[in-house]
Amino acid sequence: MTNIHRSLVLGCSALALASCGADEIVSPGTGGDIIINNPTPTPAPTPTPTPTPTATVEAAAGCPTISDPTGLTDSGTISGPTGEYRVCTLPARINASTTLPYIEGVLYRLNGRVDVGTDGGPSANDTDGASDTNVELTIEPGVIVFASGSSFLNVNRGNTIEANGTASRPIIFTSRDNVQGLNGDNSSGQWGGVVLSGRAPTTDCIAANAEPGTVNCQRQVEGAADPALFGGATPGDSSGSMQYVQIRYSGFVLSGDSELQSLTTGGVGSGTTLNHIMSYNSSDDGVEFFGGRVNVKNLIVVGAEDDSLDTDTGVKANLQYVIAIQRPSAGDTIIEADSDNAFNDSTPRQNTRISNATFVGNSSVGDQLVRIRGFADYSIANSVIVSQNDTPCIRVDGQEELTRTDGPDEAGPVAFDSVVLDCDTPFRDGSGATAADVQNVFDAGSNNNSNFTNTLQMLFVNGSNENGVPVYDVTQWAPFFEEVDNIGAVFEGNSDWVNGWTCNSATATFDSAVSSCTSLPIYSSDT
């Protein structure tokens, strides 16, 4: 991407599209490349933002009765641009399986740390001296949960969450300021986030003599002042299900220099369902996966101020259909990967595989968009990586990541297949590997192009150049992955998965029918 491209974008705004000429189409929002030669458009959501809804909500008369013996506390009402709401505060610990029902005019509040059940320990039985409490927190579609300061939700081992929204009624975790209409496009860090603690294997054990990946290897959730433990030896463990969920304005500093991100998983097992998750303006990472077996489809990260996707401590992660877009004023990397923060040869070794991603780097403060280190095994396929400034695309720190083929739990060198890069500097030197070393590995993959010109529309929707790239068969990786006909996260035949459950901002517009991220949605009675 050249300086000429950027000057053309600045001189041809989306609002004056007609004046650009028939052969020049500009990606709306925060910029993008000009598409030359009139490419065939891909069906996509309209970029026109929806105005903030007028105030229509009236506070419910009271809080519902729930199964937990402590129950909800009626904390009065709160008002904002969309109306007035009854505030129903959750207990500090949910000790019985409970449903938070959707009731018009009700918001649920986290007041400090809220635990789902009591930690059942690293073992699925009581040999560890702890018994599972088997508490399940169910959250109905359309429910909004808000918090402020150090408040966060922690689902303990041996307990589950069922937060399953729908495309038309997502579940939203957000901040008090968001409810009150006080946020702007750069607001962040106003509450903790959501933590899922499981008992799948991890590394970086807190016990000095514990063997990584075993039932004796546990870790403490990053940022939590009181022990919130995860880890064990149950790869198929389940922490429940989260689908069609937004997590906004998270990342409050909980202790020292540690803060949570929108979604933190610790030792989550493969029995956990995660799809259609949106992280918006986290002051730390968008999502961070510590150990475990994580499978995620349809993930969106917008405006994270550290890493969009952070994977470490031996996680085995599969991700398909991923959009990550940085804000111009914030963001370190889009991918940061480590295996074990203390001993690189620990097992389990991280092995993350990503297919059908569209990564757009806007930040002026990061050193690279993708950084892989710490002996991590990593594969990226069928993906588009774009740097909208001078930030290099890919850094791999050492020779071990690039060349190693043997060793315990080793999946082989970092691999790229059907990956295209639109960056002024495609690769950069690491601490033990040069840019040329990384390019050699990249060029050895199939259908890769480090000198690509993107034709993305709306920052994340394929254009003709993306649709012309041959795909890599990721079904050979694992049954989790679906067969695809195109690279990228959003393409013809797969363009509606961003609709309905997302929110819009100056950084990215997903669907004109949804509200701005700075506002709350208002549902009609027939939605």
According to DSSP, the residues that pair with 309 across neighbouring strands are 287, 335
Q: ∠ at Cα 312 (422, 268), nearest 5°?
A: 115
pLDDT recorded at residue 133: 96
Phi (first) and psi of residue 441, to 5 degrees? -70, -40
pLDDT the model gives residue 77 = 98
Mean pLDDT for 227-252 is 96
| pLDDT tens string 270-287 | 999 999 999 999 999 999
Distance of CA 350 to the CA centre of its chain: 18
Angle at 485 between CA 480 and CA 491, to 5 degrees: 95
Task: Provide the percentage of residues in the chain whose pLDDT is more than 90.
Answer: 80
Which of 25-39, 181-195, 308-322 is least confident?
25-39
pLDDT at 22: 29
What mean pLDDT comes out for the span 84-106? 98
> CB-based contacts of 239: which residues, under 8 Å, 6+ apart?
155, 159, 160, 161, 196, 197, 198, 265, 268, 269, 271, 272
pLDDT, tens digit, 9 for 90 and up, residues 122-160 = 999 999 999 999 999 999 999 999 999 999 999 999 999
Q: Identify the three-state secondary structure at position 229.
A: strand
pLDDT of 253 higher than 90 = no
Beta strands per DSSP E along 81-231: 83-89, 93-94, 98-100, 106-110, 113-116, 136-139, 144-147, 152-155, 160-164, 171-175, 194-197, 219-220, 229-230
Q: What is the pLDDT of residue 9?
A: 29
pLDDT tens sequence across 4-61: 233 222 233 333 333 333 222 222 233 333 222 334 444 555 554 555 556 799 999 9
Q: Is the pLDDT of residue 383 over 50?
A: yes
Q: How far apart are the first and last CA of the chain?
A: 43
CA 515 to centroid of chain Cα atoms: 20
Structure tokens at 94: 């949910």
User: Whole-number mean pLDDT of the chain?
Assistant: 89
At 324 the pLDDT is 98
Model confidence at 307: pLDDT above 60: yes
Mean of pLDDT values over 177-194: 97
Range 379-406 average pLDDT: 95
Bigger pLDDT: 116 vs 258: 116
Q: How confident is the model at residue 441 (pLDDT cuts 50, 70, 90)?
A: very high
The Cα 322–Cα 489 span in angstroms is 6
Contacts of 22 (CB under 8 A, 6+ apart): 38
Residue 327 has pLDDT above 70, yes or no: yes
Q: Reduce the DSSP state of residue 279 to 3 states and report it.
A: strand
Position 101 scores a pLDDT of: 98
pLDDT of 470 strictly over 60? yes
Do residues 348 and 203 lie in contact, with contact meaning Cβ atoms separated by under 8 Å?
Answer: yes
Query: Which tokens hold the place of 20?
Result: 């650009």
> How sure is the predictor about 365, in pLDDT bands with cuts at 50, 70 and 90?
confident
Residue 224 confidence (pLDDT): 67
pLDDT given at position 147: 98
User: What percent of the chain clears pLDDT 70, i.e. is strictly above it?
Assistant: 88
Q: Between the CA of residue 206 and those of 120, 210, 230, 490, what are the distances in Å?
A: 17, 8, 10, 41
